Structures are given as C-alpha cells and as structure tokens.
Amino acid sequence: MVHDIARPVDGTPLVLLIDDCPDVHRLMRARLRHEELELASCMGGRQGLDEAIRRQPALVLLDLDMPDLDGFEVLRALKSHERTMDIPVIILSGVQSSQDKVTAFDLGAVDYITKPFNLTELRVRVRSSLKMHHLVQMLAQRAQIDGLTGLWNRAYFDKRWSDAVAAFERHGRPLSLAMIDLDHFKAINDTYGHPAGDSVLQGLARLLQREPRQEDVACRYGGEEFTLIMPETTPEEARHVCERIRTTLHAITWPRHPERAVTCSVGLAGAATPIELSAAEWLEAADRALYLAKQSGRNCIHTAELSPRLAQAG
C-alpha cells in the first residue's frame, strides 16, 4: 500500500490498548464507552507492536508489566519505527514508581497513568492526548497542501510519487502519471492581472479534484504546472481522464475574461505491465511528453512511449 499520509484527520480515532490482563481490557472498554473513539485490544507486547505498526492508531495505551515483551521494550520499538514514532503513548502501570515514570518519559511516553484508573483522570488524559495528536496531524497535513489551490504541494508529490512507483514495482499493477501545464499562463496574468491568473489556477485545481477518481492524487507541482498520479490506471484509461480534463477546461467561461478561453497541455507516462523505471526517470518521461505536447501546438495530450530498461540498454 502507498504510505498514506492522506488518511483523513477526521473520523473516529483508533486507540490501541496493549495489556496482558483481560480485566484491564474489560474495564477500559466500559470506562471509555461514551468517548468518541474506537478501542482495539492486544493481550501481549509483541502482538501489540505489530498491530500498532499495521493500524497506526491515534493513541496507544501501554501496560508496563507484560510477560512476553515488557512495556518499555514496546515503547522503545514504537518510538524507533517510522510508522509509529509520532503516535502518542500513555503508560499504564500498577505501581507508583518515580524511576519508571522518568524512564517512560525519557523513552517518549506522553503520559503515565497508575492502575486502578481514576475515571475522570483517565478520560481527561485520553482526550488530551487524542486532541494533541489530531492537531499535530493537521499541521503536518497542512504543510503539504498548496495554499492557493488546496491541492497537495510539490513536497507531498515527491514522496507520494516514489511510494506509488515502489508499489507498482512490488505489485505490477498499472500506474499512470500526467503532467498538466496551463497554456500561455503568463499572457493571462499579464493581460488580465494576477487575480485572474489565480482564478485560472484554482479553476484547473477544482477540475483536477473533481474529474479523477478517489484514489487519484492531484498536486500543484509548481507555478502553472500540475501532476496527477493515477494508480491502477493504464495509459489508455489515463488518456480518457486527461482528455475530459482538457475539454472541460477549454469549455469554461471565465467571469474575469469571458472572451478568452483557457487551455492546457498534458504529458502522459503510464504503464499497464511491469517496467523498470525509477520514479525520477518516469517523471522525466512525463515531462518530455509535456514538452512534445507544447511543441505540437498545445491544448493536446502527448503520451510517452515507455520501453523496458533492458530494451533501452541493448
């Protein structure tokens, strides 16, 4: 799967409880029944660690004293794994030990609750950790969004695209990439002013969010250049998607300049079957295709011929 930074920040947060004592699970479930959260249970440290990496909960409640893998070891592992290092962890302990508290906070725990739980305290601490996690996630997500268009920005694209190519290499499912560039954008800016130019950028961005399917990822690559990552999409299917975007954009009547239509050129590079191409090479191929679309008169789509690297080398 593609590393999913785009997971919605909203929705019911998942809380993972790792404790070897069944009673704690029952009690916690009853105590948190009225909270807006989903509670998942793991009875041991090792299983809990695997589950945390797999499901990436918004909060981990972690027992210290467990027979298979103790809480500190689980905490250390969580904090050193890329997928779980940012997840807040609250330590649950049966003992009031200053040394344990110091160790827990040193290892990166956000909080420490002593069993048996005081109901109010438990709820408040869980809520506060969830809220903090939500804010941090929202900020992280915002840093990857283009302010003008609301699309993903270049930084996000770079990461997401290399993830998409890695997934393509693993599973061999089709993958297509489009580079979309507004034609004569500078002239629009110069003639009608920057607010008009901004409207055009936003107009194309809206199309890019509306036209493709849910799993497609639209990004503002820079200036008037956009990218569209289309997983599970053959070059032929991608061409249809881009053709719809191209014709819809062309047909728009712009309030600031109704006399002037806006068009775009598209460079497309996709593969339906396994092909050896790095993310950077693939992106270059789409960029070259875009250049050729511009060369052949703009307002059109050019599809790159992607040949396997072996053939190129021979």
Query: What is the spatial order of strands in the sheet that 217-222 belongs to?
Result: 217-222, 225-231, 175-182, 264-271, 301-303
Quote the CA–CA distance of 7 and 9 in Å, as a whole number: 6
- Do 173 and 273 touch, CB atoms closer than 8 A? no
Looking up tokens 């029952």 gives 26
Is 27 or 292 the residue whose CB approaches another protein more closely? 27
Is 79 or 123 the residue whose CB approaches another protein more closely? 123
| Coil/strand/helix, residue 265 | strand
Helices in the chain by DSSP H: which ranges? 22-31, 45-55, 71-80, 98-106, 119-142, 154-171, 185-192, 194-210, 235-251, 279-295, 309-313
Is 30 or 280 the residue whose CB approaches another protein more closely? 30
Closest separation between CB of residue 65 and Mg ion, Å?
Answer: 4
Closest separation between CB of residue 28 and another protein, Å?
Answer: 9
- Do 68 and 18 touch, CB atoms closer than 8 A? no
Query: Considering the rule CB under 8 A, would residue 26 count as an interface residue with another protein?
Result: yes
Residue 26, binding choice from Mg ion, another protein, none, Cβ under 5 to 8 Å by partner class: another protein
Q: By CB under 5 A, name the one of 14, 16, 63, 175 that touches Mg ion.
A: 63
Number of residues this chain uses to bind another protein (CB under 8 A): 15
The residue sitting closest to Mg ion, measured at its beta carbon, is 65
Query: Considering the rule CB under 5 A, would residue 70 count as an interface residue with Mg ion?
Result: no
**Sites for another protein among residues 41-100 (CB under 8 A):** 65, 67, 94
- Do 308 and 276 touch, CB atoms closer than 8 A? yes
Which positions touch another protein (CB under 8 A)? 21, 23-24, 26-27, 30-31, 33-34, 65, 67, 94, 115-117
Which positions touch Mg ion (CB under 5 A)? 20, 63, 65
